[in-house]
Structure 1
Amino acid sequence: MAEWRSALKGQLSLGKVGTSDGSGVTFSEVTRVSLLQIAAWPEAWKSVGAEAARLAGTETAPGPGMMAQGAEGNLLQIEPLKWWLISRDDRQDRASLAIKDGVVLDLSSSRTWINLNGPNATHLLNHFLPLNLSDTAFPVGSVASSAFHHIGITLWRDETGFNLLFPRSFAVSLWEQLTDSAAQYGFVVI
């Protein structure tokens, strides 16, 4: 496997920006990511969902627009017959399915994972995303595909805050837009 490299290298200036306490939003890039797409054929979606849940370390596969957090990673159902298994490590073990059931595709190098939280994280994201991100409309475990400045992104909420998956080739420009807008709230990059 090729050496992992950050798409944001040289863009991440660690520290506080904006207001004096810099506490409005906290950003971090999750590095050394493993992202597997697990796609099922319609007649095998139940068994493939069960296999995806087993790989993630969860009891069951999440439903549409939901995420399940397991011992081996987060399992997101991004489409009716597709799950993404994402973890915070660059795992070498890869899943496989019988061709009659579905297909597994390694997307690890295709996305940049940004975690953001803080009291103004929702306000910041609503500058860019046409989604209701309130706690009641988008609670922990929710997943959405949306457009960020005309670029398709994936967003989910976990106990730590919001997580964004940007296409790697647009990561720098989307990062710049996020941080430029976050300056009004004060932010810190860790």
Structure 2
Amino acid sequence: MAEIRSALAGVYEPGRKGFGSGDAPVAITEITGRDIVQLAAWPNTVGAVSSKAAKPVGVAMPSDTKTASAKGKTSVFKTAPEKFLIVCELQAAMGDALSKTFEAEQAVVTELGHSRTILRVAGEAARDVLARGVPVDLHREVFARGAFAQTGIHGVSVLCTRSGPDQFDLIVPRNFAVVIYEWLEETAAQYGYTVEEASS
């Protein structure tokens, strides 16, 4: 698979920024080295596809549209009754594996890695930053680790998931990655934040 060039090239500059000095309560990181694949079944095949996909994916497929299944660096989100979004390491060659597993009459496999950017927002003030743009209750008692929501920030559709105790991942359309990144910087500035080196 060809290397995916960051949509943030030219604007992503690691460093300590915003209010104050010392340790910042917010860290923004672009997550690279990931493949994103959509697996879309049909209404009459979704049950069989969900069961059969578990082996090549390496994790049980989720049964609801609110909580992801995850193992290691692989996460699976059920984004619609018959659709799954799989985020995994590039070297997993997930698209090829699923295409070999299913015929078109069972499910359709679509590579989305080049069309999405993943931004991680972490730290003690991460939830406060996101709360200024994400119309979802992100308190950990309501939005626990693994929870996700298909929501929006300033009219841009994003998938937001809690990936750690004080850590959230945003899966953003590539065309709007700069818009969301700059919004995060602007919103986090009042708290003080760091932009970390891109990480896989």
TM-score by length of 1: 0.93
Deviations 1:74-129 (A, max 9, x none): 11111111111101435435212212211111001010001111001101001111
Cα distance in 2 for partners of 1:89, 1:46 equals 27
- Comparing 88-97 and 160-169, the one that deviates more: 88-97
Aligned 8 A contact 1:25 1:188 in 2: yes
- Matched residues in 2 for 1:126 and 1:140: separation? 17
Superposed displacement of residue 136, structure 1: 1.3
Determine whether 1:61 maps to 2:62. Answer: yes
For 2:8 and 2:46, locate their aligned partners in 1 and report how far apart those are by CA, in whole Å. 36
Report what 1:148 is aligned to.
153
Q: Which protein has the bigger helix share?
A: 2
Aligned to 1:17: 17
Counterpart Cα distance in 2 of 1:43 and 1:158: 32
| 1:115 partnered with 2:125 | no
2:186 corresponding residue in structure 1 = 180
The alignment's TM-score, normalised by the length of structure 2, stands at 0.88
Q: Does the residue aligned with 1:169 lie in a helix, a strand or coil?
A: helix
Aligned to 2:90, what secondary structure does the other structure show?
coil
Distance 1:120 1:72, change over 3 A: closer
User: Alpha-carbon deviations, 1:43-67, whole Å to 9, x = none?
Assistant: 1111111233323312443422211
Matches of 1:28 and 1:120 in 2, distance apart? 15
**Structure-1 residue corresponding to 2:131:** 126
- Over 4 Å off, 4+ runs: none
Percentage of pairs with the same residue: 30
The corresponding residue for 2:2 is 2
In 2 relative to 1, CA 34–79 (structure 1 residues): closer, same or farther, beyond 3 Å? same
State whether structure 2 residue 20 is matched by structure 1 residue 34. no
Conserved? CA contact 2:61–2:76, under 8 Å: no
Question: Which of 160, 166, 170 is equivalent to 2:172?
Answer: 166
Calculate the aligned-residue CA RMSD, in Å: 1.6
